A and B are shown apart, each in its own frame.
Chain A
Amino acid sequence: MLVLAGTYIGIGALTHDFGLTSWWLAISTILVWAAPAQVILITTVTTGAALFEIALAVTLSAIRLFPMVVALMPVLRGPTTRLRDLLLPTHFTAVSMWVESLRLLPNIEQQWRIPYCNGLSAGYMATATAFGFVGFYLAAGLPPLLAGALLFLTPMSFLMSTARNARMMVDKLGLVLGLLIGPLLTMLDVDLDLMWTGLVGGTLAYLVHRIREAAT
Chain B
Amino acid sequence: MSSVLTELWPYFLMVLVGYLPNEVWRAFGLILARGLNEDSEIVVWSRAVATAILAGVIAKLVLFPTGALAAIPLLLRVIASVIGFVVFLAVRRSVSAGVLAAEAALLIGAFLFVP
Q: Which residues of A are at the interface with B, using a C-beta cutoff of 8 A?
A: 2-3, 6, 13, 17-18, 20-21, 24, 27-28, 31-32, 34, 36-41, 43, 45-46, 51-52, 54-71, 73-74, 83, 86-87, 90-91, 93, 139, 144-164, 166, 168, 170-171, 173-183, 185-186, 193-195, 197-203, 205-206, 209
Contacts and interface: CB of A to CB of B under 8 A. Distances in A.
Given A70-B32, A201-B49, 4 more contacts: A36-B53, A58-B21, A156-B84, A178-B54
7 contacts: A17-B68, A24-B14, A28-B18, A151-B68, A156-B102, A170-B44, A201-B55
Contact of A206 (B44, B66, B80, B81): B44
B58 interface: yes
B14 A41 contact: yes
Contacts, number: 322
Given A62-B22, A145-B114, A209-B44, A157 B50 contact: no
A127 to B, nearest CB: 15
A173 to B, nearest CB: 8
B99 A54 contact: no
Chain B CB within 10 A, most for which of A21, A40, A74, A91: A40
Given A156-B81, A170-B44, A182-B60, A62 B55 contact: no
A152 B69 contact: yes
A41 B60 contact: no
A63 B56 contact: no
A162 B48 contact: no
Interface of B: 10-11, 13-30, 32-33, 36-38, 43-72, 77, 80-81, 84-85, 88, 93, 95-96, 98-99, 102-103, 106-107, 110-111, 114
A39 B77 CA distance: 19
B46 A67 contact: yes
A37 B50 contact: no
Contacts of A54: 13, 17-18
B52 A197 contact: yes
The residue among B16, B49, B53, B81 with the most chain A CB atoms within 10 A of its own CB is B53
A164 B95 contact: yes
Given A17-B66, A41-B17, A162-B55, A170 B48 contact: yes
Closest 10 A/B residue pairs (Cβ): A178-B55, A69-B29, A182-B56, A202-B49, A201-B52, A198-B53, A197-B56, A178-B52, A59-B21, A174-B51
A60 B70 CA distance: 27
A61 to B, nearest CB: 5
Contacts of A34: 22
A91 B23 contact: yes
Contacts of A55: 16-17, 20-21
Contacts of B13: 41, 45, 51, 54
Contacts of B88: 160, 163-164
A194 B57 contact: yes
Given A2-B96, A27-B11, A51-B13, A174 B55 contact: yes
A193 B17 CA distance: 17
